[in-house]
């Protein structure tokens, strides 16, 4: 995914919580990425931020979820429509419809990143 940098993580933290100390929130986010098996630190942290939708009380749970299996937060943040449909729902779509779902998912994520 493009724009998955520490700078973008910081920008999103400030966007969601302009009155908070960003270092406090980054400290919580940094619980993910300390282990060698925890890949894609900035990308996963951005997914956590997107999923918490500015609700700081969800931050810790989402970081724990990422530490358990980072693919869960990535999937729900980056492919929300596809995840809502599930594997069975996606299989029921034509190839063109499934591609359209994936295009919409990508577009919504890129718009969120740019916002």
User: pLDDT tens-digit profile of 41-56?
Assistant: 999 999 999 999 999 9
d(CA 89, CA 75): 16
Please report which confidence band the pLDDT of residue 14 belongs to, taking 50, 70 and 90 as the band edges: very high
Please report which confidence band the pLDDT of residue 115 belongs to, taking 50, 70 and 90 as the band edges: low
Say what the pLDDT of residue 62 is: 98
Mean pLDDT of 68-77: 96
SS3 70: helix
Is-contact 83 76, C-beta < 8 A?
yes
Is-contact 70 32, C-beta < 8 A?
yes
Which pair of structure tokens corresponds to residue 17?
A: 């919580």
Please report which confidence band the pLDDT of residue 36 belongs to, taking 50, 70 and 90 as the band edges: confident
Which pair of structure tokens corresponds to residue 40?
A: 């894609």
Q: What is the domain partition of the chain in residue ranges?
A: 1-74, 79-115
Please report which confidence band the pLDDT of residue 69 belongs to, taking 50, 70 and 90 as the band edges: very high
Which pair of structure tokens corresponds to residue 51?
A: 């999923």
Instruction: List the end-to-end C-alpha distance of the chain, in Å, as a whole number.
Output: 15
1, pLDDT greater than 60 = no
């Amino acid at each position: 995914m493009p724009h998955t940098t520490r700078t973008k993580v910081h920008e999103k933290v400030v966007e969601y919580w302009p009155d908070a100390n960003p270092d406090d929130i980054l400290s919580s986010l940094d619980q993910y990425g300390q282990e060698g098996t925890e890949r894609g630190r900035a990308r996963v942290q951005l997914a956590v931020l997107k999923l918490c939708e500015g609700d700081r009380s969800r931050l810790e749970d989402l970081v724990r979820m990422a530490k358990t299996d980072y693919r869960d937060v990535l999937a729900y943040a980056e492919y929300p429509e596809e995840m809502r449909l599930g594997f069975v729902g996606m299989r029921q779509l034509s190839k063109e419809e499934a591609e359209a779902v994936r295009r919409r998912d990508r577009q919504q994520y890129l718009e969120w990143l740019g916002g």
